[in-house]
Structure 1
Amino acid sequence: MKKVYIYAASLALALTAVQGVAQDRKQPAPGPAPTINISEPTSFVLKNGLKVLIVKNNKLPQVSYTLTIDNPLVFEGDKAGVSSLVSGMMGTETKNKKKDVFNEEIDFLGASIRFSSSGAYASGLSKYNAEVLELMAEGALNSVFTQEEFDKTKAQAIEALKINEKSVTEVAAKLEDALLYGKDNAAGEFETLQTIESVTLKDVQEYYVKHFNPNNAYLVVVGDVDYKSTEKLVTKLFGKWKKSNATYQSNTVKGNVAKTQIDFIDMPNAVQSEIALVNEVELKMNDKDFFAALIASQILGGGGEGRLFLNLREAHGWTYGAYSMVSTSRKYPGKFKATASVRNVVTDSAVTEFIKEIDLMRTTLVKPEELKNAKAKYVGSFVMSIQKPETVARFALNKELHKLPKDFYENYIKNVNAVTAEDVQRVAKKYFLKDNQRIVIVGKGADVVKGLENLGLPINYYNTFGDLIDKPVFEKAIPAGVTVESTVDKYIAAIGGEKQVNAVKSILMKSSAAVQGMNLEVTLKLKDGYLYSEQKISGGPVVGKQILTPKGGYVIAQGQKMEMEGEELKKLRDEAVLFPELEWKKGKSVSLVGVESIDGKDAIGIQDGDTVYYYDLASGLKVSTIATKSFGEQSMQEITTYKDYKEVKGVKFPFTQIINVGMEMEVKVTELKVNEGVSDADFK
């Protein structure tokens, strides 16, 4: 069956109904820069090493607690992911409170508490400050890690990794740091199925005992609290927290390349290329270059006013957005990064424009208006941020961790406004290393590598695990004798034979999928040219319907009925067929597009309009469909993978579908009926 459009449309319809419509809000015109007054924290240190910073703020009857474990980076190696599992399990159950009791007490106080392997955060009303901190301390210092919770958390981590294996964005994100810093150290390593599988409950327990300690810990308290009583409470709750004798390896990273190069990772399912130009930087918050580097990055790619955005999006229409950033270094080098997601066909052109814009920042002075706007943007963001308690806590901690002057934030606006065009050019030369960058690209090699080779830059090839490999074969030859006709015949034979397939006149299918923490139930009734699709949240009302009638079609979403017409109606009616392969046998024009690797197996593709269907060369079964959707100059793919074929009335159907429509979800068929449960009355 042809369900990629139907399912994607159904899920998109349901998501729209669940989420509602976001409203644009225009930013008000900036006023004069205010005077910045940030309270200086009072502090004390417990005997175990925990340093406590208290920032009194009685504007609102609220309090927040931020616990930060500032240990050196931990290289997890073949257990990469153990810290993530610790984060996922912490606070679910403690030595003194069962899971349900712990959560009920948090809810009763109206508090917010969360934990990770490197700290904890809690906030609530100041009248409950003692109770809130007691619960945070209980979860942080007395977490219990049970086998049941471990198995659950590990299974979730494995499932997430499996989903992200085909995500071009996720692969790009993890390999960017792996290639920049090296995956053999804590700054560049990443989790894999193999490393997560190797983690045991004992590993989690030992990591918690060894690394969740007060040796390098800070507790920042912000809000309407009394210093003396807070000191007494913190001492009572955290005073017996024991130090650890943990030792840490030094963290040596790779360093920048001698000459700019392209590091390419092939992902055949990519409709867009993820591009990141990166280099290491040695920049600290207390360096004289800090503010100039922020402004330089803002001008280059800080948002809709940045040069990269104006070039790649506004002038060329190649991307939704192009950005840059520069991060500071403390435990390991920071990085400069310029990035965008662009269409395959313009990947090489986009790289050329990135290099051009970076070079201009290094060789010419920025315009006065650009400098003025960048400063205004930073000042505005800074002023807005200091209204938030969590920002005040971060500022207090930053002063400690980065050894900042006491008046660093009081002078923040003054230092931003003091940056000159000459400063911007100077730091661009120093930190935007045009001649020593890794240009990390994750994309479809068959579409983009020829263009990249014409740029004259050396190209290294890596697999999705960050291992250096030989140049892949991007275009596999179609085996002799394989045609559209032979592929269709093999598929029909594989699912039951032409007689059985032709006997299918209607299908009723019920399925479910987890969407944003909710269970979405979809009922699909299908005849050739007719469709009924209903979506509902389990235990809730129907959130959407989509119906193709003999004369037209309509959608119901959020209680509103919208008629379908024109090209939209025609396209859906063309899609609403039981077996598109039978239409091809009748003479519909389609074409063979080549061999791709789908889940490690060779599959032959057949293109029908904007959709390519892939069939396993060995088994003949349909294993994937990739539908390309265009939105003006932009395009995206809807990728469906078919698994778990089961026979119903002599015909095999996939009972599991992995659908990617910007996010990935697993759809499980719970009921499938052939030639029953569907009537003409459904299509009215």
Structure 2
Amino acid sequence: MKNLYILFFVVFATFTAQAQVDRSVMPKPGPAPEINLKEPQSFHLNNGLKVLVVENHKLPRVSIQLTIDNPPILEGKKAGVSSLTGALLGKGTKNIDKDEFNEEIDFLGARMSFGPQSAYASSLSKYFPRIMELLADAAINPNFSQEEFEKEKEKLITGLKTEEKDVPAIAGRVQRALAYGKNHPYGEFTTIETVNNVGLSDVEAFYRDYFVPANAYLVVIGDVDVDTVKELTEKYFTSWTKAVPPTFTYSTPQNVYNTQINFVDMPNAVQSEIAVQNIVTLKMKDEDYLPTLIANQILGGGGEGRLFLNLREDKAYTYGSYSSIGNDKYEASRFVATASVRNAVTDSSVVEILNEIDRIIAQPVSEKELKNTKAKYAGRFVMALEQPQTIANYALNIEKEGLPKDFYKTYLERLEKITIEDVQNAAKKYFSSSNARVVVVGKGSEVLENLENIQFKGKTLPVHYYTKTADKTEKPNYKSEIPAGVTAKSIIEKYIEAIGGKTKLKSIESFAMDASAEMQGMQLELQLKKTAKNQLMQDIKMMGNSMTKQVLNNDKGYVVMQGQRKDLSEEEIQKIKEEAALFPELNFLSSDNISLEGSEMVGDKKAYKIKATDSKTIFYDADTGLKLKEVNVAEMQGQQMQQTLIFDDYKEVSGVLFPFKLSQSMGPQNIDFTVTEIKINSGVSAADFE
């Protein structure tokens, strides 16, 4: 009975204490928890190799990471030699040929990869001794053969050729080149010319100079013990020749004196790549390192960042806008705010990005923004501690960056102490709206006029012009003269003659086309059928299921999306009739509404620009007469959206030329359809339009 009374008393006391808590007041946060990080065990070899071991016996696996922390390397006229070195490492050794080496890795169920100054391997722990031996052999005794060199060189050149028309790739290299200078390791870039300057002997020299143990770290994580690791490391890595890599001197990159726009014209661009950037000097050991990360996260660190909320959620200019800030113990790094936007809003997007940078510098962030961002960083930090790799990375950072031994143990405590003032001070120090370099890569004929009229803080921003290789150039001229006698009608007539002639086109009663494309790893199928009787059927399928189907049968029509059918209005039917024509250009000949708007480049081809309707512009090759591109403007959710269709790879079918490659883009989304079959006057029935 006594025990029963005691129980009632405890319950009553607990209830009374709870009843006295004022739940309208948020409780004060407790002190930041102390992080108990187990330090990796470490040792080093006489040749300079430093080894870190993190024992974790939960799973019978082990990983090995070799990192060589050399200062930045300037490759100059032989840019690409480091990429080729990384590609050749791991292709066998002087003791084991390539095929035998790869077969053994596969047989052991292991993974192994190499970079120009790194290596990685993972396997079951029972195979660890052999994997350690294979990794060391490949790293210390590489087998650089002329045959493999030529293969990798050709791959690299093929990739560079592909990038020549890749707008984001061009934008990335120009941004770095303008920030650092082309004679700086972070600003130089690889070209076909520099790769052709590289021989096998250059790869061997690069390896000898830079793949050395002086600044090397070997991190072993998993189901191992430090004594075994030490024994194997001494056995297999002691022969690695002690050497110190060469050092370079190069000019320190500087910010521009005033905010300016650096423009690169890419006629094939369907959207503009924008980067607002400035040079910063930030290191992990700096006192304001964490406040700077918080400031960047609030500005543009993700979907909750100000840039994203402004340019995507509020303005619908882009699918996303973000910012990042680098840190580097050797060199200056960059703060960059980026967005890929529609051509029509390029100038507005530049202004909005600059406004957001200026706002976070001039005005304190809110308490809510700071609290939420701290919570996000704390959550990421705590979750990351579950991974053994995290412990190794933290230990490696402490070694490489010269951090205090308790840098991560006090991480949450220092994070919690960050104030609004700390964040604003970091933004003032590292972000800039007064000497920012705004790099825009896009279609000049559509965006440049508005860019040249941008005003920020009451001043018009100067515009400087650069080539795809970041060389200064003159302002593009888009007003090339139209030769005498060239009119909208003559251009249309030339196109009709080029694809088969008026008589041949008028003899065609119907055609059916099948095409396919890949989007985000899934197969798309396009089926298009038309007749000369205002009939059209277009069906787009994904994985065999219809996504959207559009049907016009003279004066009636409907669209089906995700199983939902909707009949078309009279206005919609009239618009679709324009697309339903087998060859719309035949109708253009009798139209007084088409007009010649000038000429401009479509890719590397000069094209005449024809205004076909208020919403459609068509470009025809000035030399061949073939149709190169259509641009349609439509309104979606109150926004003007531009859809571009590129025509390429013309082939003859029954005496008529048809494009067998159709590249469709809207905003950042691009889909390349390859035509698989076209049938003339067959493959179409009345049932297709029911």
TM-score bin, normalised by smaller chain: 0.7 to 0.9
- Which stretches in structure 1 are left out of the alignment for 5+ residues? 1-29
Secondary structure of 2:165's match? coil
1:614 to 612, 615, 619: 619
- What is residue 335 of structure 1 aligned with on the other side? 334
Contact 1:296/1:427 (8 A) holds in 2 = yes
Contact 1:39/1:56 (8 A) holds in 2 = no
Q: Residue 448 of structure 1: CA displacement?
A: 3.3
Whether 1:652 aligns to 2:657 is yes
**Distance in 2 of aligned mates of 1:347 and 1:669:** 33
Alignment of 1:370-389 (within 5 A): 370-389=369-388
- What is residue 233 of structure 1 aligned with on the other side? 232
Contact 1:317/1:633 (8 A) holds in 2 = no
Whether 1:604 aligns to 2:603 is no
- What is residue 501 of structure 2 aligned with on the other side? 497
Q: Residue 229 of structure 1: CA displacement?
A: 0.6
Q: Residue 196 of structure 1: CA displacement?
A: 3.8
Provide closer, same or farther for how the CA distance between residues 241 and 613 of structure 1 changes in structure 2, counting only shifts above 3 A. farther
- TM-score in terms of structure 2 length: 0.82
Provide closer, same or farther for how the CA distance between residues 267 and 426 of structure 1 changes in structure 2, counting only shifts above 3 A. same
Q: Which amino acid aligns with 1:623?
A: L
Secondary structure of 1:469's match? coil
Q: Which amino acid aligns with 2:466?
A: Y
My pick for the range that moved more, 100-109 or 42-51, is 100-109
- What is residue 411 of structure 1 aligned with on the other side? 410
Provide closer, same or farther for how the CA distance between residues 575 and 93 of structure 1 changes in structure 2, counting only shifts above 3 A. farther
Alignment of 1:512-551 (within 5 A): 526-528=529-531, 529-531=535-537
**Distance in 2 of aligned mates of 1:368 and 1:279:** 27
Contact 1:265/1:462 (8 A) holds in 2 = yes
Q: Which amino acid aligns with 2:59?
A: L
Provide closer, same or farther for how the CA distance between residues 614 and 148 of structure 1 changes in structure 2, counting only shifts above 3 A. farther
- What is residue 189 of structure 2 aligned with on the other side? 190
Q: Which amino acid aligns with 1:484?
A: A
Whether 1:359 aligns to 2:358 is yes
Provide closer, same or farther for how the CA distance between residues 534 and 326 of structure 1 changes in structure 2, counting only shifts above 3 A. closer
My pick for the range that moved more, 414-423 or 504-513, is 504-513
Q: Residue 227 of structure 1: CA displacement?
A: 0.4
1:471 to 463, 471, 475: 475
Deviations 1:582-632 (A, max 9, x none): 343364955544322123331012345655432111221223344567654
**Distance in 2 of aligned mates of 1:634 and 1:405:** 52
Provide closer, same or farther for how the CA distance between residues 356 and 678 of structure 1 changes in structure 2, counting only shifts above 3 A. closer
**Distance in 2 of aligned mates of 1:79 and 1:445:** 32
Q: Residue 466 of structure 1: CA displacement?
A: 0.6
Q: Which amino acid aligns with 1:652?
A: L
**Distance in 2 of aligned mates of 1:92 and 1:638:** 46
Contact 2:212/2:244 (8 A) holds in 1 = no
Secondary structure of 2:404's match? coil
Provide closer, same or farther for how the CA distance between residues 110 and 575 of structure 1 changes in structure 2, counting only shifts above 3 A. farther
Q: Residue 290 of structure 1: CA displacement?
A: 0.9
Alignment of 1:541-580 (within 5 A): 566=568, 575=579, 578-580=582-584
Q: Residue 663 of structure 1: CA displacement?
A: 6.8
Deviations 1:335-365 (A, max 9, x none): 2222223333333333333333333333333
**Distance in 1 of aligned mates of 2:576 and 2:137:** 56
Contact 2:88/2:148 (8 A) holds in 1 = yes
- What is residue 8 of structure 1 aligned with on the other side? none
- What is residue 49 of structure 1 aligned with on the other side? 48
- What is residue 37 of structure 1 aligned with on the other side? 36
Secondary structure of 1:395's match? helix
- What is residue 13 of structure 2 aligned with on the other side? none
Contact 1:33/1:379 (8 A) holds in 2 = no
**Distance in 1 of aligned mates of 2:182 and 2:358:** 29
My pick for the range that moved more, 72-81 or 634-643, is 634-643
**Distance in 1 of aligned mates of 2:272 and 2:91:** 40
Secondary structure of 1:468's match? coil
1:482 to 460, 474, 486: 486
**Distance in 2 of aligned mates of 1:142 and 1:85:** 17
**Distance in 1 of aligned mates of 2:586 and 2:352:** 47
Secondary structure of 1:467's match? coil
Q: Which amino acid aligns with 1:460?
A: H
- What is residue 166 of structure 2 aligned with on the other side? 167
**Distance in 1 of aligned mates of 2:507 and 2:93:** 60
Contact 2:111/2:123 (8 A) holds in 1 = yes
- What is residue 18 of structure 2 aligned with on the other side? none
Deviations 1:81-130 (A, max 9, x none): 33233334443444455555544444444433332212122233333323
Give the structure, 1 or 2, with the largest relative contact order (CA under 8 Å, sep 6 or more): 1
Contact 2:606/2:621 (8 A) holds in 1 = yes
**Distance in 1 of aligned mates of 2:256 and 2:59:** 51
Provide closer, same or farther for how the CA distance between residues 513 and 184 of structure 1 changes in structure 2, counting only shifts above 3 A. farther
- What is residue 624 of structure 1 aligned with on the other side? 629
Contact 1:281/1:329 (8 A) holds in 2 = no
Contact 2:452/2:463 (8 A) holds in 1 = yes
**Distance in 2 of aligned mates of 1:152 and 1:535:** 39
**Distance in 1 of aligned mates of 2:509 and 2:148:** 47
Provide closer, same or farther for how the CA distance between residues 41 and 638 of structure 1 changes in structure 2, counting only shifts above 3 A. farther
**Distance in 1 of aligned mates of 2:319 and 2:38:** 41
**Distance in 1 of aligned mates of 2:474 and 2:589:** 41
Contact 1:326/1:337 (8 A) holds in 2 = yes
My pick for the range that moved more, 456-465 or 575-584, is 575-584
Contact 2:92/2:102 (8 A) holds in 1 = no
**Distance in 2 of aligned mates of 1:516 and 1:344:** 24
Q: How many residues align?
A: 647
Contact 1:446/1:475 (8 A) holds in 2 = no
**Distance in 2 of aligned mates of 1:92 and 1:634:** 53
My pick for the range that moved more, 53-62 or 136-145, is 136-145
**Distance in 2 of aligned mates of 1:563 and 1:275:** 40
Q: Residue 531 of structure 1: CA displacement?
A: 5.0
- What is residue 83 of structure 1 aligned with on the other side? 82
Q: Residue 438 of structure 1: CA displacement?
A: 1.0
Deviations 1:346-394 (A, max 9, x none): 3333333333333333333332222212211221222222333433332
- What is residue 598 of structure 2 aligned with on the other side? 594
**Distance in 1 of aligned mates of 2:641 and 2:162:** 18
Provide closer, same or farther for how the CA distance between residues 34 and 256 of structure 1 changes in structure 2, counting only shifts above 3 A. same
2:463 to 459, 462, 465: 459
- What is residue 273 of structure 2 aligned with on the other side? 274
Contact 1:525/1:678 (8 A) holds in 2 = no
**Distance in 2 of aligned mates of 1:81 and 1:515:** 31
Q: Residue 467 of structure 1: CA displacement?
A: 0.8
Contact 1:266/1:444 (8 A) holds in 2 = yes
